[in-house]
Chain A
Amino acid sequence: LLFSLFREKKRRRVVELTEKMLVDGDTGSTSDWDDRWNHIKKFLERSGPFMHPDFEPSTESLQFMLETCKILVIGAGGLGCELLKNLALSGFRNIHVVDMDTIDVSNLNRQFLFRAKDVGRPKADVAADFINSQFHIIVCGLDSIVARRWMNGMLLSLLVYEDGVLDPSSIIPLIDGGTEGFKGNARVIFPGMTACIDCTLELYPPQINFPMCTIASMPRLPEHCIEYVRILLWPKEMPFGDDVSLDGDDPEHIQWVYQKSLERAAEFSITGVTYRLTQGVVKRIIPAVASTNAAIAAACATEVFKIASSAYLPLNNYMVFNDVDGLYTYTFEAERKENCSACSQVPSDLHFSPSSKLQEVLDYLTESTSLQMKSPAITTTMDGKNKTLYLQVINLPFKLGLADGQELAVADVTTPQTVLFKLCFTS
C-alpha cells in the first residue's frame, strides 16, 4: 500500500511540476520570460543541411507548437511522467494525459467495442476525441501489449480512404515507447503507411505460462510452488473469504501465498522461495529502473518534436536500446506485413479442413504469434443473417458447417474493430 502511495506521490509530483510549468507561461506568450525557448528556437528558426525537405524555418512553428499542436500522452506511469516533462520542456502546451490505470484494460470487453457511443466512461471520451481527430500526435508509454494494440487499432479505424487512396490528413502519427529493466524501444508509426503494432507482433513473444502438470504435480522451481498456491490453492481455500480474489497489492494476501509456497516447496525440497519472489510471480512484476524510462521517453519526445515541427526526418522507424553491457542501440525499418490483421485491410485467409472443429479455429486465433488474441468472438453471415459462432462464455465447440470462402468477423480485446478472415478449406 505504501508503495503504491509513493508511486502516486511521485506521479502526482511530476504531474504537478509539469502543470506548474505549463501554467507559468499559459496566459499567452507575453507572460513567457525572456529567452525561455532559446534552445528550441534554434531548430525552428534556422535552416540546416539535415532538415526535413518540407521544412521552412519560421517563427510560426514555435507558435503552432505552443498554442495549437495537441498531443495525447497515454499512460501516466514511469514513461508517462517522463514524457509529460519532456514535451512541456520542448514547447508543447496542449498536452492531454490518459492514465490507463483508471481504465481497466481487462474491461475492454466486446460490449464496449461494439458500443463506442456509450457515454460515462473515460475510454469512451478517448474514443470520441479520436473520432473528432482532435490530436495531432499520440505518444504511448504503456506497459501492456493489449492496450497498445487497442490504441493501434483505434488509429487505424480513423483512416479515411477515398477510392482506395489514403487521405493523409486522416493519419495521426503514433509514437510508442516500451521498457523492461535495462531494455527499451521507441518506434514511430504512421497508421496506414508504416508498420503498425500488429505488423511486428512477433517482436513481442507471448508470455509463457508454466504447464499445469508442472504446477500441479511436478514442481521444480520456487516459481512453480508460488503458481501452485496462486492458481490451485487459493481458489480451494479462499483464505480471506468466499468472494475475495487474490490481490497482489495486499501484503496480507502475499504473505499468505508466501507461507503456503514455502510449505509446498518444503514438500519437494525446493529452495529459493522468498517474499520478493512471491510478489514478483503473483503480480507478474517486470523490473524497472528510472534510467531506461528516461532514455526511451526522451527518444519518443524527440520524435514528437521532429514530427510536430517538421524540422527533421522522423525516426524510420524502430529503435532498440539496451544498457546491460555498455550502451547499445539498434535502429531499423520495421516492415509492414502484407496480411497484417490490423492494418492490411485485406481479410486474412484461415486454412482449415471442412471437418475441422471450431475449437481449432479458436486455438489458432489465440496461439498464433501474429494474432495473439485473448478471447475472440466470432460471427459470420449465413443465409443473410448475422450468426454468432462463438462467444467467450459459451464453451461448445462444434463442427464448422460453413462454406469455402466464407467471411468470419472476429472481435477481441486486442482491437477496437472487428478483424475479417476468409475461410479457405484445405482438401
Chain B
Amino acid sequence: MASTKASKEQKYDRQLRLWGDHGQETLENAHVCLINATATGTEILKNLVLPGIGAFTIVDGHTVTGEDVGNNFFLSKDSIGKNRAQAATELLQELNSDVSGNFVEEGPDKLLDNDSEFFHRFTIVIGVQLPESTCLRLGSVLCSASVPFLVCKTYGLIGYMRLVVQEHTVIESHPDNALEDLRLDQPYAEFQNHIKSYDLDSMEKKDHSHTPWIIIVAKYLEKWLSEHNGQPPKNYKEKEAFRQLIREGIRKNENGVPEDEENFEEAIKNVNTALNPTKIPSAVEDIFNSEQCKNITAQSPSFWVMLRAVKEFVHNEGNGSLPVRGTIPDMIADSQKFINLQNVYREKAMQDAAAVSKHVESLLQSVGKPAESIPEKDIKLFCKNASFLRVVRCRSLAEEYSVDTVNKDEITSCMDSPDSEMVFYLMLRAVDRFYQQHSRYPGVYNYQVEEDISKLKACVNSLLQEYSLNVNIKDDYIHEFCRYGAAEPHTVSAFLGGSAAQEAIKIISHQFVPFNNTFLYNAMSQTSATLRL
C-alpha cells in the first residue's frame, strides 16, 4: 500500500522544496508519540501524518465521550464509548497510507509504572492536555533518555506550547535574510587575481556595462584604499563619497551624458552591504565556546566534531574567518563574467571545505574513529552553513518549576505590562494548581463559574506567594479562566496543531530553528509571545 518513490516525490513535492529529500528522509524515519488524542492532539498529529512521518503511536487511556466528538475531526459518533487512542488512530491512518499508526489504550502514568523505558523508542513525544504532575514526571524520564518533549495545551482561547530538549543542533537554519558572504573587505588571493584581470577603463562599452557589480565595487575600493591610507569608507559621508566615486565611473556619451549602466547602479545600491566587515556571527562564536566543542570524544556527535574542525580552520587557514560560503547573488552581467566570478567563489569554498575536512580527519583520528564516519558531503553542507549554525538548549521542566531556579526576572519584567501573554502562563499554572486541589478544572459546569472565581484566585495567590512573584494579576483574567471551563475549542486546537507540528518537524529534521522554550497564543486578540522560562 505504500507509495513508490516517484509518487512520493509528487505527493510531497511542495514540502520537499522546503526541507529537501534529506529532510524528508528524517521524517520518514521518525516515530512520533502523541499522548492524549484530544482535538489538539489529533490536529498536531494530522499535520505530521500528512507530510509523511514514518510512524506514530497514540497513548491514551480515555474513553471517547460525546463532548470529545464535538470538537475532534478524527472521532465520529460511532467512536463514543471506544478507547480514544484506538478510535483516533483509525481515522488518522486514513490520511496517509505511507504512515504506520499504532495505539496504546493506557494513560502515560500507568505506562511508566509498568515500563519506565516505554518512551525511549520515540523520536519525539508530544504530550497534550496533561496535568502538571504527569508533565513533570514525563519531563524527567524523557530528559534522561534524551528524547525531546513537546508539551501542548489548549485552554479556552489560549494556546500553550513548551519545548523541552537539552541540546538541539541545527546546521540548516535557512535564515530569512542572510547577509551575503562576499569578502570584499578581506579579498582572498584568488579573488584579487580575478579582479586584476579586469581593466574597467580600457574595456569595450558592452563589457563595461555587463561587468558584475562585485567587481566594480572591488575595483573602486582598491582605488579608495590607495587614496585613504588603506582605510575603507566608514561613515555615511565617506560611503556617499565612495558611491559618488563609482558613479563617476559610468561611461559618458559624446555629449557628456552618462550612459545607462545598470550594473553600476547596482554597485552603488549595494555599497552599504558590500562594505559590511566580514565577521563571525556572535551566535557562532558562542557555539565555539561550548564545552562540547572544547572536548571532542569518541561519543561526540558529528556536529561538534565538524564545529571544532571549523574552529581550527578559523584559527589557521581561515585567518580569523569562517570558510567561504561560495555563493553570490544574481546581478546584471553577461553570462561568462558572472560564471567566472561565481567559480572564483565556488573554488575558494571547496578549498576551505577541504581544509576543514583535514581537520575533521585528524580530530576523528585522535579519538580513534575512521575518517569515513563523517561523509564529505556533510562537511561541505556544514561549511556552507557555517554562518547559520544554531544550538538550542531548553531548560528542563524541573528547572522551570523549582522555586530555586524559576525565572523570576522574565516573569516579573513581562508582567510590567499586566496584559502581556505572560499572564496566561501564570493563569495556566494556577489552573493546574486548582486541578491538583479540587480534582477538576474551574467552571466546567455553568453553576460553578461564579463560585470558582474565588477558589481560582486563591490558587493564583498561593502560586505567586510560593515563587515570591511580586506581580499583579487582574481579576478579569481569573474570571475569564473560570468562564473557559477547560473548553478546548477546535479552532484554537487547530492553530496549536499547525504550530506544534512544525516545531516537531524542526526537531526531527534538524532544519529551521525551534522556539525556546514557551509559546503562548491568545486567540482573543490573535497575538502571541515566546517566553524563556
- 8 Å CB contact of A42 from B11, B66, B484, B524: B484
On chain A, the residues within 8 Å of B14 by CB distance are 285-289
CB of B339 within 8 A of CB of A325, answer no
Q: Cα distance A383–B47 when bound, in Å?
A: 63
Contact A220 B446 (CB under 8 A): no
Given known A90-B489, A90-B490, A327-B499, contact A220–B483 (CB-CB < 8 A): no
Q: Mark A59-93, 1 if CB is under 8 A from B, else 0.
A: 00000000000000000000000100110011000
Closest Cβ–Cβ distance, residue B509 to chain A (whole Å) = 12
Interface mask (B503-533 → A, CB under 8 Å = 1, otherwise 0): 1010000001111100101011111101000
**B335–A291 CB distance below 8 A:** no
Known contacts A24-B77, A48-B480, A326-B515; is A294 also within 8 Å of B47 by CB? Answer: yes
Complex Cα spacing A42 to B485, Å: 7
**B32 shortest CB reach to chain A, Å:** 14
Q: Complex formed: what's the CA distance from A282 to B530 in Å?
A: 39
On whether the beta carbons of A287 and B528 are closer than 8 Å, the reply is: no
Question: In the complex, which residue of chain A has the Cβ closest to the Cβ of B78?
Answer: A24
The minimal Cβ–Cβ distance linking A21 to chain B, given in whole angstroms, is 8
Q: Collect the chain B residues with CB atoms within 8 Å of residue A298's CB.
A: 491-495, 497-498
Interface residues on B, range: 35 or more
The docked-state distance in angstroms from the alpha carbon of A221 to that of B330 is 7
Cα distance, A37 to B66, chains bound together (Å): 9
Q: Can you name the residue of chain B whose Cβ is closest to the Cβ of A24?
A: B77
Rounded to whole Å, the gap between the CB of B388 and the closest CB of chain A is 10
Q: A291-B499, A324-B174 are in contact. Are A315 and B65 (CB under 8 A)?
A: no
Q: State whether the Cβ of B414 lies closer than 8 Å to any Cβ in chain A.
A: no
Looking at A154-162, A190-198, A299-307, A374-382, the stretch in contact with chain B turns out to be A299-307
Residues of the A chain whose Cβ atoms lie less than 8 Å from the Cβ of B501? 290-291, 294
Instruction: Mark each residue of chain B from 118 to 162: 1 if its CB lies under 8 Å from any CB of chain A, else 0.
Output: 000000000000000000000000000000000000001100000
Contact, CB under 8 Å: B67 / A312: no
Which of B15-23, B355-363, B367-375 forms part of the interface with chain A?
B15-23
Q: How distant is A301 from chain B, measured CB to nearest CB, in Å?
A: 4
Q: Give 1 or 0 for each of A188-230: 1 = CB within 8 Å of chain B CB.
A: 0000000000000000000000000000001111000000000
Question: Nearest CB to that of B17 among chain A residues?
Answer: A287
Given contacts A324-B512, A326-B513, A327-B528, contact A295 B498 (CB under 8 A): yes
CB-contact partner of A305 in B94, B491, B513, B525, under 8 A:
B491
Q: Is B488 an interface residue (CB 8 A)?
A: yes
Q: How far is the CA of A288 from the CA of B446 in the complex (A)?
A: 43
| A17 shortest CB reach to chain B, Å | 7
Are A89 and B498 closer than 8 Å at their CB atoms? Answer: no
The answer to whether A42 and B491 touch (CB under 8 A), given A85-B73, A270-B335, is: no
User: Which of chain A's residues has its CB closest to B19's CB?
Assistant: A289
Q: Decide yes or no: A89 and B525 within 8 Å by CB, A17-B73, A20-B76, A289-B15 being known contacts.
A: no
Q: Is A26 located at the chain interface by the 8 A CB criterion? A: no
A398 to chain B, nearest CB (A): 27
Given A24-B77, A39-B487, A86-B491; A324-B70 close (CB under 8 Å): no
B16 touches A33 (CB 8 A): no
* Contact, CB under 8 Å: A40 / B512: no
Docked pose: A297 CA to B176 CA in angstroms: 23
With most chain A CB atoms within 10 A of its CB, the pick from B338, B489, B530 is B489
Any A CB within 8 A of the CB of B412: no
- Cβ–Cβ < 8 Å partners of A270 in chain B: 335, 339
Contact of A295 among B46, B331, B443, B495 (CB under 8 A): B495
- How near does chain A come to B446, taking the closest CB pair, in angstroms? 7
Q: Chain A 324-345, CB within 8 Å of chain B: the 1/0 string?
A: 1111110100000000000000
Chain A contacts for B443, CB-based, 8 A: 42
Q: Is there an interface contact between A48 and B67, defined as CB atoms closer than 8 Å?
A: no
B residues within 8 A CB of A319?
A: 526-527
Chain B residue with the shortest CB-CB distance to A85: B73
What would 21 A/B residue contacts be, using CB atoms closer than 8 Å? A6-B11, A36-B67, A42-B156, A46-B485, A89-B39, A182-B512, A220-B342, A268-B339, A276-B16, A280-B17, A292-B502, A295-B498, A298-B492, A301-B494, A302-B157, A302-B491, A302-B526, A319-B526, A324-B176, A327-B499, A327-B515
In addition to A10-B95, A33-B66, A329-B521, 8 A-B residue pairs with Cβ atoms within 8 Å of each other are A2-B10, A38-B70, A40-B70, A82-B494, A299-B491, A323-B512, A325-B173, A327-B499
Interface residues of B (CB under 8 A from A): 6-7, 10-11, 13-18, 39, 43, 46-47, 50-51, 65-67, 69-73, 76-77, 80, 91, 94-95, 156-157, 173-176, 210, 330-331, 333-336, 338-339, 342, 443, 446, 449, 475-477, 479-480, 483-485, 487-495, 497-499, 501-503, 505, 512-516, 519, 521, 523-528, 530
The 5 closest A-B CB pairs, nearest first, are A294-B498, A295-B498, A3-B10, A298-B494, A298-B495
